[in-house]
Structure 1
Amino acid sequence: MVSKYLMLSSIFLAIPVPVSADIYKCEIEGKLVMQDIPCPEGVDQSTVKVVIQNDTSKKYKPYQPAPYDPSEFSDFENQLIKSHKVEVGMSVKALEFSWGTVRRINRSAYGPEQWVFQKGIYQRYAYVKDGIVVNWQD
């Protein structure tokens, strides 16, 4: 009996339901203000109806990187790409052709970006500054 209710509730949760909200547009002290509560008394107010809908009908194509074109790279980078290696000084475009699509990019206030590449449980890292590999670790 409980499983029947769980199944029915999961079906209802999967159906996209539009949600609407009112946004109040006011002019206060010469500034346009948009808020979710009515405008103060004595202030001109207009209401904007906002409809939020989770449209699950859109189908997105999976990411397809541009095809590899050896003429875009130096002989040095082409050699690295073919052998799936990385060296300091190579471009990020060559890096991605060599190691594959980056899984995550970690940024900090100081130092280069850390690009994380993963294949199965194996991770390797490239450190990138201004579009150029400045260090790597595998």
Structure 2
Amino acid sequence: MNCRYSPTGQAWGLLVSLDLFGCNDKIKDGKALNDYVVELCERINMKRYGPCHVECFGEKGTPLAGYSMFQFIETSCISGHFSDSDNSAYIDVFSCSDFEPETVKQYTVEFFEAKGCNMTVTPRMYDESVRPAEIKPAMKKIQA
């Protein structure tokens, strides 16, 4: 895919990681987490594959207690881990289809009413020397 975050202009995919702090109580509500994923997929044009998996893990009252969420999408996945003890959330969106990281951040901060957010955007690279010619990006074929 063409990727403005990649040093070569190409990437296999894009990973956006969000660390959110001071979130509202939606992080403690399985239905709200499911609703978040459905709407996020709409906003970034990702096709969900199957249901969103939302499970509560960890011993209640410990720093590990909270929901985890996973959604397959046609081009990879969305995952999240939510901490009840400090109202934080850790969300990753990975896709080999292009999407706008800022859209993910803005919607997520708004939905969880986060008081703080760190975003990391990582292009997922590939080794051109071992990638078969038939799946190299069209731009590379033209240059060859």
TM-score, length basis structure 1: 0.24
Q: Which has the higher contact order (CA 8 A, sep 6+)?
A: 2
The higher radius of gyration belongs to 1
Give TM-score scaled by structure 2 length: 0.23
